Amino acid sequence: MQAENALEPGVNALEFDALRALLGRYVRSPLGQAELLGVRPLANRADIESALADAAEAIDYLRAASNPQPAGRGAAIRPRFDLAIDPAPLVGRLRIEGATLEAAEIFELARLLDVASEARSVVLSARERYPRLAAHASSIADLRELARDLRGKILPDGTLADDASVMLGRLRRDSERQRRMIEESLARFLRTHHEDGTLQEDFVTIRNDRFVVPIVTGRERRVDGVIHGSSGSGHTVFVEPLETIELNNELVRLHEEELREVHRLLREFTTRLREHAVQIAASVTALSRLELLFGKAEFALDFRCTVPRLSPERSRRIVLRDARHPLLEDILRGQRKPVVPVSLELNDAQNTLLISGPNTGGKTVALKTIGLLALMTHAGLPVPAEEAEFPLFDEVLADIGDHQSLAESLSSFSSHIVAVRSMLERATRDSLVLLDELGRATDPVEGGALGVTVLETFRARGAFTLASTHLMAMKVYGASTSGVLNGSMGFDEATLEPTYVLRLGAPGKSAGLDIASRLGLDPALIETARGRMAASDRDVAQFLGELNQRLEQLETERTELAARTQALVVREQGLEQTWERKYSAKIREVEDRATELSAQFERRAQETIEDLSQKARARIAKTRREFQEQVTSLAPAPERGTVAPLKLEVGAQVRLKGIRQPATVRRVLESGEVEVDAGYLKMRVPLTDVEEVIPKAQTPARAPSIAFRQGPEFAVSVREINLIGRRAEEACDSVDKFLDTAALAQAERVRIVHGHGMGILRKAIAELLARNPHVAKFYAARPEEGGTGATIVELK
């Protein structure tokens, strides 16, 4: 779309400037408004797609910034663009060597640096989520140091702050002190002459930047001093008393020094800014683009817009779903009325839409909606629709409205033909053509023939064409020509009012007499007009009315069917979810029951095994004692004094009946029993089972060629390992060593505590256990032992 296309005939006819004004509500600073003026339809596909992608990202950013979220790095925070003036002219003055900016101008540039730095920081903090916006923000120069140096030096009223420099602060303090001295001197003067009639009024004023007192005219000679003028009435003379002249002179000198210091500071600040003029200019450009992007995004959220797309060159099509005219929607919002949306689809095989229907039925609005949304797409703007797609157009050609001109002697028909001729000369395959009331303002037969010829010419060129008409010849053309689609605007026969709904597939009736009747025309005139209609015309009008009623019924039935289908889908999904919940609950119940039964079986089996083990050990011990007693009874009795008395103490080595390996005494009990460790076994035996106490000197020496190392003690209290908080690799190493230790200690069953978490540690432990040679089987612990947060391992 060339730059000159922003003039005639499409852009003006489709009110693009009014749309730009509507968008201007969301671009508030003069800087953004200046950037908005440059928004226009573009011709290059890459430029359009880039602008649309920028707008889409800005919408996502603004939507995220509008939703509550934790603050932090990467969060979307809406930047501010509250600038009072457009800084572009000030940046231009910076480039003039030797020019010094005024204090108010420097204040605005310092404000610009603050706003730009803040916007840069805010957007770049979310660069990972919004890279396109970050690319614009990165064009803003990092001038935070300069902004910090200028911050607070100039006040909002355009005056320099007292602390702008040490010299300025000192001069202003001296001036204030000098002013007080002058006021005190004049106060003494007023008290002295208060009663002598010299003073016109009892106050101090300023004339020619000097403090003076009002003296009655004719009595000024009573006062030594300098006259600085008189009042307008001539009744008062303003005199500077002699005693304050030197004080005033000093004040004037301090004021002049202050002005020189202010000028020096302004020149210094201007020089600092001039050193960065190029970066400031680039920052102004980037900041204006960012503000415009966020203005587009705010407009999109307010008007429920979507980001349109350009169709591929090989598959050109126009797709609009629930499209709305933004200007009309803005008007109806104020009236609290809804907008009836437009939906349609055209492609290369069917590239012409012919819209007919009642007067005031919305045909022109439909054409304007399609044309304006096409222009918005090419300008990189979001469009008010649920879905929108357009081909890349080289021009949008529109003939909408009455262009008759008395100055150029053009009638309605003449102006219409001039516009159509221009469009025929310019239209190409890549054009969008919009024709309102084609063939109007002339004989219907001739107008219909002309309209059909014009439409066929545009269709043959391959241009996407949309036209509205009341002419029967064109309606017949639309119904009988391949590649042409008829459409009609809805009309309610009961209320005789248009519905503004666009239906595709059949032409509509004009309903001129019905509209006239609704608008209050005499019913007798209406009936007379109906009588004058040809029978064929009445039949066609009746047929079109019945056809549109049938289409409305079909549309109603289709809507009801879609609603029922959707309800069935929702119901089916609900049933599936209900069934899944019930099935899941049943599965969980079965699993819980199986876990409980397994735990009960495991507990009873363990109890049975332990009971059998205790009985077996007792039976074996009894058998051994009986055998030993029989053997002892057969042996000769030892001589008196040959057996040393038993001296049991903790840590002593003893020999037990029936056990070859020496045991170590743990405790000697008052019940006549002793608790000992025999290898990996801990047992409690009667004192009668202790055959002898092995003296330490008689401890059997180990053969030099044999090395013995005590195996690990594996008490019940330590038959588990806790892995919670460890990484999978570290935990697997610990479990591997733990299983080796358990196997050496001849443990039968151990517990591994890994917690629930994400299941990663549990899975890693399961894979290790599946391939460990010591493991016989493993399973989840019982609920009282930790449930799925722990694994029970049975060792071979």
Average pLDDT over residues 631-644: 49
643: confidence class by pLDDT, cuts 50, 70, 90: very low
CA nearest neighbour of 16 among 376, 382, 378: 376
CA nearest neighbour of 45 among 305, 339, 393: 393
User: What pLDDT, on a 0 to 100 scale, did the predictor assign at position 729?
Assistant: 85
User: What pLDDT, on a 0 to 100 scale, did the predictor assign at position 639?
Assistant: 46
Average pLDDT over residues 180-203: 77
User: What pLDDT, on a 0 to 100 scale, did the predictor assign at position 706?
Assistant: 45
517: confidence class by pLDDT, cuts 50, 70, 90: low
User: What pLDDT, on a 0 to 100 scale, did the predictor assign at position 20?
Assistant: 93
Provide the CA 728 distance to its chain's centre, in angstroms.
Answer: 36
β-strand partners of 388 = 320
User: What pLDDT, on a 0 to 100 scale, did the predictor assign at position 429?
Assistant: 92
User: What pLDDT, on a 0 to 100 scale, did the predictor assign at position 627?
Assistant: 67
User: What pLDDT, on a 0 to 100 scale, did the predictor assign at position 634?
Assistant: 57
Q: What is the DSSP letter of 695?
A: P
13: confidence class by pLDDT, cuts 50, 70, 90: confident
Q: Using CA atoms, how far apart are residues 514 and 357, in angstroms rounded to an integer?
A: 12
405: confidence class by pLDDT, cuts 50, 70, 90: very low
User: What pLDDT, on a 0 to 100 scale, did the predictor assign at position 493?
Assistant: 62
User: What pLDDT, on a 0 to 100 scale, did the predictor assign at position 547?
Assistant: 59
Indicate the range of 3-7, 274-278, 379-383, 591-595 predicted with least confidence: 3-7
Indicate the range of 255-264, 384-393, 522-531, 766-775 predicted with least confidence: 522-531
Per-residue pLDDT tens for 118-149? 999 999 988 889 999 999 999 999 998 988 88
pLDDT of 704 higher than 50: no
- Name the token pair of 358: 């009642």
CA nearest neighbour of 322 among 382, 275, 270, 383: 383
Per-residue pLDDT tens for 725-767? 888 888 888 888 888 888 877 778 888 988 877 778 888 888 8
User: What pLDDT, on a 0 to 100 scale, did the predictor assign at position 352?
Assistant: 93
pLDDT of 88 higher than 90: no
pLDDT of 328 higher than 50: yes
Average pLDDT over residues 68-85: 73
pLDDT of 441 higher than 80: no
User: What pLDDT, on a 0 to 100 scale, did the predictor assign at position 310?
Assistant: 95
Burial 154-183 (b: 16+ CB within 10 A, else e): beeeeebeeebbeebeebbebbeebbeebe
User: What pLDDT, on a 0 to 100 scale, did the predictor assign at position 151?
Assistant: 87
316: confidence class by pLDDT, cuts 50, 70, 90: very high
pLDDT of 375 higher than 90: yes
User: What pLDDT, on a 0 to 100 scale, did the predictor assign at position 764?
Assistant: 87
Helix, strand, coil percent values for the chain (each to nearest 5): 50, 15, 30
Q: Using CA atoms, how far apart are residues 740 and 744, in angstroms rounded to an integer?
A: 6
User: What pLDDT, on a 0 to 100 scale, did the predictor assign at position 760?
Assistant: 81
Average pLDDT over residues 265-269: 91
Alpha-carbon torsion (36, 42, 47, 49), positive or negative? positive
Per-residue pLDDT tens for 547-586? 566 666 676 777 788 788 888 888 888 787 888 777 778 8
58: confidence class by pLDDT, cuts 50, 70, 90: very high
Q: Using CA atoms, how far apart are residues 66 and 78, in angstroms rounded to an integer?
A: 8
pLDDT of 224 higher than 60: yes
pLDDT of 629 higher than 70: no
Q: Is 520 exposed, middle or buried (0-12, 13-18, 19+ CB in 10 A)?
A: exposed
Average pLDDT over residues 508-535: 62
pLDDT of 327 higher than 80: yes
Average pLDDT over residues 171-192: 85
Q: Using CA atoms, how far apart are residues 623 and 720, in angstroms rounded to an integer?
A: 36
Strands (E), 616-774: 653-656, 659-668, 673-678, 681-686, 690-694, 720-722, 749-753
Dihedral through CA 714, CA 720, CA 721, CA 724, nearest 10?
Answer: -160
Per-residue pLDDT tens for 407-420? 444 567 777 788 88
Average pLDDT over residues 110-123: 91
Q: Using CA atoms, how far apart are residues 377 and 562, in angstroms rounded to an integer?
A: 31
Indicate the range of 286-290, 591-595, 630-634 predicted with least confidence: 630-634
Average pLDDT over residues 692-713: 54
pLDDT of 542 higher than 60: no
98: confidence class by pLDDT, cuts 50, 70, 90: confident
Strands (E), 300-386: 309-310, 317-323, 342-347, 352-356
Alpha-carbon torsion (528, 534, 535, 538), positive or negative? negative
User: What pLDDT, on a 0 to 100 scale, did the predictor assign at position 701?
Assistant: 44
User: What pLDDT, on a 0 to 100 scale, did the predictor assign at position 73?
Assistant: 57
The residue ranking higher by pLDDT, 621 or 301, is 301
Please give the single-letter amino acid code of residue 413.
F
Mean residue pLDDT across the chain? 81
User: What pLDDT, on a 0 to 100 scale, did the predictor assign at position 433?
Assistant: 94
Alpha-carbon torsion (685, 691, 693, 698), positive or negative? negative
**Residue 786 vs residues 76, 120, 259, 764: alpha-carbon distances, Å:** 43, 53, 84, 18
718: confidence class by pLDDT, cuts 50, 70, 90: very low
pLDDT of 511 higher than 60: no
Indicate the range of 283-287, 296-300, 474-478, 633-637 predicted with least confidence: 633-637
User: Percent of the chain beyond pLDDT 70?
Assistant: 82
Average pLDDT over residues 10-15: 77
CA nearest neighbour of 262 among 110, 113, 102: 102
Per-residue pLDDT tens for 652-673? 888 887 676 788 888 888 777 8
599: confidence class by pLDDT, cuts 50, 70, 90: confident
Average pLDDT over residues 208-229: 77
Per-residue pLDDT tens for 467-478? 988 888 888 888
